[in-house]
Amino acid sequence: MPQSCMGSLKREKPCAAAWACQVGFPPGPNEANGASFEASGNCMTNQRIDWDKLRVFKVVAELGSMTSAAARLRESPPTVSRKIDELEEFLSSKLFTRSTRGMELTETGKTVLRYARQMEESANEVLSKAIGKTDGTEGRITIGSGDGVGPYWIAPRLAEFQTAHPKAQVRMHVKAEEPDLLNDEADISIQFTEPRDPEIISHKLGTLHYIGFASREYLDAQTSQPSSMFEYHQYSAMITLCRRGGGIALLPTYHQDVYPDLVALDMSEVAPIQFWIAYTEQTRRSPLGNLMIEWIKSLFDKQVSPWFTDEFYHPKQRIEAEAEFHESVSVPRVTGT
């Protein structure tokens, strides 16, 4: 670890003095507004980092605009610009690049933003616990997911989580690209690739098994029911179109529960695809983060649903098992005379 702890922002854990500097606390009651936090020790001597400038930096980074940040902070744009310049000078690093899209973070800027958010979260947690305001399950958490398991399996069940934990604010970002967890694009990610970064923790959630689904109206209109992938176009049709009789959609088997009106074709699976839950140590150590991680894992437990096991389970097996059960309970019991 270099002796000048702010001269090189790296991902390894800094020494104690550096950590106090990078993840400090707001000014105390005897300090003036915008006062600096001073760290001392072998790593840093007479170096100060101004929390007010970090606070301004965080808002600019999140809004991507000096003007928008100034409006939110109720400061003038020149004042905001000056504080950013002074912070960049203090760190001897450029934190932003200016472009037609606004203020974009440099790699150093992304690292500083991560620490600034940690500082804010730590300060809020200390305040909340000091006044007995929370049991650890309040706050905001963001789940990143592609257009699949997140919106179709997790999202419909979020109401249960919110009912149990009304102070939690849960957001779901749905997009094709996996979120950058280290730069706080999300707290938890549901993804189809296993993370390789040592700072990312991951667990396999399960396997998706794809087969063809169609509406009953569509199948009734066909002279013969497809029995293999080679008898229809190999693309995923829109679910709405499929449900309205527009064709066959290639979907994971769990859609049998999501849309019971769809009929699973009598065919073997097309392809099994594994997926993971990923998060950082910071999220895991957060009470709300850990709670959400364990809750998501429970949604894919084989005791809850058979759709995500490594073994292929055809929807017709579920239908046949349910039919046998109903038949067994409906048969009158014969008693002796």
Averaged in consecutive runs of 10 residues, what is the pLDDT profile of the chain (337 residues)?
39 34 37 39 57 89 89 90 92 89 88 84 68 66 93 94 91 92 91 92 95 88 61 52 83 92 89 94 90 95 90 86 64 52
Based on the fold, state whether residues 272 and 145 are members of the same structural domain. Answer: yes
Q: Which residues contact 250 (CB under 8 A, 6 or more apart)?
A: 210, 211, 212, 213, 234, 235, 236, 237, 270
Provide the 10 A C-beta neighbour count for residue 207: 18
Task: Tell me what pLDDT residue 209 has.
Answer: 95
Residue 172 Cα distances to 150, 189, 292, angstroms: 8, 10, 12
Based on the fold, state whether residues 217 and 258 are members of the same structural domain. Answer: yes
**Domain-terminating residue out of 101, 131, 161:** 131
Task: Tell me what pLDDT residue 277 has.
Answer: 97
Based on the fold, state whether residues 146 and 72 are members of the same structural domain. Answer: no
The CATH number that applies at residue 262 is 3.40.190.290
Burial of 274 (0-12, 13-18, 19+ CB in 10 A): middle
**Is residue 209 helix, strand or coil?**
strand
Burial of 278 (0-12, 13-18, 19+ CB in 10 A): buried
Can you say whether the dihedral through the CA atoms of 213, 178, 309, 318 is positive or negative? negative
Based on the fold, state whether residues 124 and 171 are members of the same structural domain. Answer: no
Based on the fold, state whether residues 101 and 83 are members of the same structural domain. Answer: yes
Based on the fold, state whether residues 154 and 295 are members of the same structural domain. Answer: yes
Task: Tell me what pLDDT residue 186 has.
Answer: 94
Domain that holds residue 172: 139-322
Domain count, the chain: 2
Which residues does residue 210 pair with via DSSP β-bridges, in sequence order? 252
Residues 189, 318: Cα–Cα separation, whole Å: 30
Based on the fold, state whether residues 265 and 172 are members of the same structural domain. Answer: yes
Based on the fold, state whether residues 292 and 149 are members of the same structural domain. Answer: yes
Task: Tell me what pLDDT residue 331 has.
Answer: 52
Q: Which of 269, 257, 274 has the alpha carbon at shortest distance from 308?
A: 274
**Domain-terminating residue out of 131, 157, 191:** 131
Task: Tell me what pLDDT residue 98 has.
Answer: 85
Q: Which residues contact 314 (CB under 8 A, 6 or more apart)?
A: 211, 253, 264
Q: What is the pTM of this model?
A: 0.60
The CATH number that applies at residue 111 is 1.10.10.10
Task: Tell me what pLDDT residue 267 has.
Answer: 85
E strand or H helix at 286 = none
Rg (CA), the chain: 27
- Residue 310 DSSP symbol: S
Based on the fold, state whether residues 70 and 115 are members of the same structural domain. Answer: yes
Based on the fold, state whether residues 283 and 210 are members of the same structural domain. Answer: yes
Residues 248, 65: Cα–Cα separation, whole Å: 46
Beta strands 249-252 and 200-215, pairing class: antiparallel
For residue 184, tell me if it sits in a domain.
yes
Residues 320, 110: Cα–Cα separation, whole Å: 53
Based on the fold, state whether residues 228 and 292 are members of the same structural domain. Answer: yes
**Domain-terminating residue out of 103, 131, 159:** 131
Q: Which residues contact 237 (CB under 8 A, 6 or more apart)?
A: 246, 247, 248, 249, 250
Based on the fold, state whether residues 151 and 298 are members of the same structural domain. Answer: yes
Show the DSSP H helices in the chain as ranges: 16-22, 51-63, 66-73, 77-91, 107-130, 149, 158-164, 216-220, 239-243, 255-258, 281-285, 287-299, 315-330
Burial of 63 (0-12, 13-18, 19+ CB in 10 A): middle
Task: Tell me what pLDDT residue 314 has.
Answer: 93
For residue 11, tell me if it sits in a domain.
no
